[in-house]
Structure 1
Amino acid sequence: MQFDSFSSFIAMGGYGMYVWSSMLVTFIGLGALAIEAKWVRRTLKREAQAQQARAQRIQRAKRASTQ
């Protein structure tokens, strides 16, 4: 499909409002998904570090109690 001008491209043959609002909703959803994934990754990383630190403390305590 070829457009004569930029305004006809924006109008999309009378379906411009539907097309551009759909694009906006899609990009907002993808942005929210990316932000949520980053937040979950950060949370999981903190939890893994805390669990590893706890395991190290337990291991040190076991070694100290056997000596």
Structure 2
Amino acid sequence: MKWESLSDFFAMGGYGLYVWGSYLVAMICVIGEVVLIRGRKRTLYKHLGQSRRSILRG
């Protein structure tokens, strides 16, 4: 496909909304997954630290 201008590139032959919308949804999912994984990691380390302390105490 040949684009004459930047607006033609973003329009993607009339399918730009679907193309760019798909990229947007994919990026939101990737960013959300990274945020959720960081939260799970933080929770895991917190629980591991608490269980380690309880093991050392008794």
Regions of 4+ moved over 3 Å: none
- The structure whose Rg is larger is 1
In structure 2, list runs of 5 or more residues that go unmatched. none
- Which residue of structure 1 aligns with residue 49 of structure 2? 49
In structure 1, list runs of 5 or more residues that go unmatched. 59-67
- Which residue of structure 1 aligns with residue 17 of structure 2? 17
Q: Percent identity?
A: 36
Q: Which has the higher contact order (CA 8 A, sep 6+)?
A: 2
TM-score (norm 1): 0.82
The CA deviation at 1:55 is 0.4
- Which residue of structure 2 aligns with residue 62 of structure 1? none
TM-score (norm 2): 0.94
Q: How many residues align?
A: 58
